[in-house]
C-alpha cells in the first residue's frame, strides 16, 4: 500500500469512531468524535470577553475552502477558553490604541469540524473552491503538505485565526493575501523576516512568482507583534494563526458545537 493510501486508510478508520487505545481518563490525546470531551464549562463566548471584536466566522458560511458550512458550527459565533479570551482582550485594547479592531475568522473548532475537513480533502473530485484558496496546488497534496490534518490546535480552544480592521478606512488591513490561502504566500516569513520585521521582497518560495509589498508585510507584522506582546505564539505557515503559549488544555481535543455559551 502506498504511503498516501495508508494515511487515508488510517484517517478514515479514526473517523469511524475506532480508537487504537482505550479512552481511559489518563489518555489525553483522543481525537475521535466519541471520545473528545464535550465539556464547555471552561470556555466563553469570545465577544463577551472581547466586545470590540468583529466576527466573520468563515466556517459557518459557504465562503471557505470547502465551500459549505462546516460540521459543528451551529451559530456564527466564536468561542475560546477563558484564559485565551482574556489575553485576546488585552490584544484588542492594544490595537485599538493604534486605530484597529480585531476581526475573527475562527477560534475554537470542534473535532467534528476537523473531521469534515479530512473527508473533504479525501474527496479529490470536489475542487469547487480551488481557484479561491489553493489555485497553485493539486488537491491530492493537501495531506502530504499538512494543509489538512486529523488534529488541530483550534480544537484545544486557545487558538484563533484573525486579522486587523482599520477604523480609519473602515476596511480590513491589507495583508497581501486571504485567510486560509494554501501556499507559501501565507507564511509569516514570506518576503521578509518576521523576527526582525525586515521586508526583503524575497518571494522565491512562491511557485508562480506571487509577492507582497513592503506595506502588506508591515501590516502582518503589526498583528504579529500585538499577539506576541500578550502571550500568543505564531504558526510558521499562517500569518493569521496564533495560540496562547500557556494554553490550559494542551492535550485535550473538544467536540461540543460552536454556539453561544449561556
- Name the average pLDDT for the chain: 90
- Spot the catalytic one: 146, 172, 238, 247: 238
Strand pairing class (100-106; 54-55): parallel
> Could you confirm whether 238 is annotated as catalytic?
yes
pLDDT of residue 24: 36
What architecture is domain 3-17+44-244?
Answer: 2-Layer Sandwich (3.30)
pLDDT of residue 128: 97
Rounded Cα distance, 230 and 240, in Å: 15
52-102 tens-digit pLDDT? 999 999 999 999 999 999 999 999 999 999 999 999 999 999 999 999 999
Let me know: does 185 contact 239? Beta carbons within 8 Å. no
Mean pLDDT confidence for 252-256:
96
Let me know: does 194 contact 184? Beta carbons within 8 Å. no
Backbone angles phi, psi at 67, to 5 degrees: 90, 15
Contacts of 113 (CB under 8 A, 6+ apart): 59, 70, 71, 72, 73, 155, 258
pLDDT of residue 13: 45
pTM: 0.87
Let me know: does 108 contact 157? Beta carbons within 8 Å. yes
118-171 tens-digit pLDDT? 999 999 999 999 999 999 999 999 999 999 999 999 999 999 999 999 999 999
Rounded Cα distance, 27 and 31, in Å: 11
Amino acid at each position: 500500500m502506498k504511503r498516501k493510501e495508508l494515511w487515508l486508510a488510517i484517517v478514515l478508520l479514526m473517523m469511524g469512531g475506532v480508537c487504537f487505545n482505550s479512552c481511559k481518563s489518563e489518555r489525553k490525546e483522543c481525537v475521535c468524535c466519541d471520545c473528545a470531551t464535550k465539556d464547555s464549562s471552561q470556555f466563553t463566548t469570545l465577544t463577551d470577553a472581547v466586545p470590540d471584536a468583529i466576527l466573520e466566522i468563515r466556517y459557518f458560511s459557504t465562503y471557505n475552502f470547502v465551500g459549505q458550512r462546516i460540521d459543528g458550527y451551529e451559530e456564527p459565533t466564536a468561542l475560546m477558553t477563558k484564559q485565551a479570551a482574556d489575553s485576546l482582550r488585552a490584544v484588542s485594547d492594544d490595537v485599538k490604541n493604534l486605530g484597529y479592531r480585531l476581526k475573527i475568522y475562527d477560534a475554537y473548532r470542534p473535532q467534528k469540524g476537523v473531521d469534515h475537513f479530512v473527508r473533504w480533502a479525501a474527496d479529490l473530485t470536489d475542487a469547487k473552491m480551488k481557484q479561491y484558496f489553493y489555485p497553485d496546488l493539486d488537491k491530492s497534496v493537501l495531506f502530504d503538505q499538512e494543509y489538512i490534518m486529523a488534529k488541530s490546535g483550534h480544537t484545544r480552544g486557545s487558538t484563533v485565526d484573525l486579522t486587523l480592521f482599520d477604523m480609519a478606512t473602515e476596511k480590513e488591513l491589507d495583508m497581501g493575501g486571504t485567510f486560509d490561502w494554501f501556499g507559501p504566500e501565507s507564511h509569516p516569513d514570506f518576503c521578509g523576516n518576521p523576527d526582525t520585521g525586515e521586508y526583503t521582497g524575497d518571494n522565491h518560495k512562491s511557485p508562480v512568482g506571487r509577492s507582497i509589498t513592503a506595506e502588506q508585510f508591515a501590516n502582518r507584522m503589526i498583528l504579529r507583534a500585538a499577539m506576541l506582546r500578550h502571550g500568543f505564539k505564531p504558526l510558521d505557515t499562517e500569518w493569521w494563526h496564533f495560540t496562547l503559549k500557556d494554553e490550559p488544555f494542551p492535550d485535550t481535543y473538544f467536540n461540543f458545537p460552536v454556539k453561544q455559551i449561556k
